[in-house]
Chains A and B, each alone.
Chain A
Amino acid sequence: MPILTRLFIKTSFLYLIAALFIGVALVGRSVWQLPAWLAGLSPVYFHLLMVGWVTQLIFGVAYWMLPKYTQKQPHGFDGVWWATFWLLNLGVLMRVVAEPFRIASPAPLWGWLLAASAVMQWLAGIGFVFNAWLRVKER
């Protein structure tokens, strides 16, 4: 299993665990009198599950299993793959931080962090599709 696949998959599992913790906190908020800002994590919970875990797991397995692009470049353009990994994860982390803070404080910084996180995740998706599209072929 190539290093980038391992990174994608292990990072995705970390997000899965984080999402499950947040899931517990969201429900446990009323039982354990946890801070009110935790309610702002509801979109983060779904985002971690769908993008942080499922989508990232698919990216990692696709890097490993899709037919080779060429003998010299089996995975396609590795620079773009690495950029995809970093853009996706920085984007997801920035959302995890900015989303609850944006609710707790009106400072524009959090809004701009969210906007930047959106752009980074979009670029990661474009990078993935660019590389993976080339490898979806007969053999």
Chain B
Amino acid sequence: MPKLSRRYVHMAFFNLIWGLTFGGLLLFHKGVPLTPLMWRLLPLHIELMLVGWTVQFVLGIGFWIFPRFWRSRGNETPARRAFWLLNIGVWTAGLAGTLNAPAEILLIGRISELGAGLLFVLYVWQRIKPPGTGAWGKKRV
């Protein structure tokens, strides 16, 4: 498993633990009320579980298993930048919702997630190809 995949997957696990912890507290509170403030955790819980865990895990595994160009995975820079944008976005958007921050902060988080998605798709597009071909499906000579 390449280094960047390990980074994506470990971060997905980190977000899963926090997402489950906040979700667990919310569900516990639903059954046995603790404090009304608990509901503030809902936006962060959703952001962490949906994007921080599920999306990030899929991207990390995709980077690992999609077809390669002989032994190379091509220029990995966009996928590396996507990792940072994704995690900055997840935590910014999640915390903005939880801390009732201005809508602009939430928007910055979501734009950061969008940037991550665009960069990753741009990077991975050329790896979705038939066997024995180079970037964009060109036959190897």
**Which residues of A are in contact with B by a Cβ distance under 8 Å?**
50, 54-55, 58, 65-67, 95, 98, 102, 110-119, 121-122, 125-126, 128-129, 132-133, 136-139
Cβ of A55 and Cβ of B54 under 8 Å apart? yes
Task: Say whether chain A's binding surface is mostly helix, strand, loop, or mixed.
Answer: helix
Q: Is B28 at the interface (CB under 8 A from chain A)? A: yes
Q: Are B6 and A119 in contact (CB under 8 A)?
A: no
A113: chain B residues at CB < 8 Å are: 31
CA distance A137 to B1 in the complex (A): 6
Chain A residues, CB < 8 A from B9: 132, 136
> Is A129's CB under 8 angstroms from B17's CB?
yes
Smallest CB–CB gap between B34 and chain A, Å? 10
A95 vs B6: C-alpha distance in the bound complex, in angstroms?
33
| A117 cross-chain contacts in B, Cβ below 8 A | 27, 31
Instruction: Let me know if B54 and A139 touch, CB within 8 A.
Output: no
- Mark contacts of B1-18 with chain A using CB atoms, 8 A cut-off: 1 yes-contact digit, 0 otherwise: 101001001100100110
A86 to B80, CA, bound (A): 36
Q: Tell me the complex Cα distance, A67–B5, Å.
A: 12
Residue of B nearest to A114 (CB): B31
CB of B20 closer than 8 Å to a CB of A: yes
| Interface residue tally for chain B (C-beta within 8 Å) | 25
Bound: A102/B32 CA distance, A: 11
Given A114-B31, A139-B1: A121 and B17 interface contact (C-beta under 8 Å): no
Additional pairs, 6, CB under 8 Å, beyond known A111-B30, A137-B6: A50-B54, A115-B27, A118-B23, A118-B25, A126-B17, A132-B13
| A125 and B31 in contact, given A58-B57, A133-B13 (Cβ under 8 angstroms) | no
User: A129 with B24: in contact, given A67-B1, A102-B31, A136-B6 (CB under 8 Å)?
Assistant: no
Instruction: Using A129-B16, A136-B10 as known contacts, say yes or no to A118 and B27 having CB atoms under 8 A apart.
Output: yes
| Set A67, A118, A133: member contacting B24, Cβ < 8 A | A118
Contact pick for A118, options B13, B31, B53, B61, CB 8 Å: B31
Contacts of B32 in A (CB 8 A): 111-112, 114-115
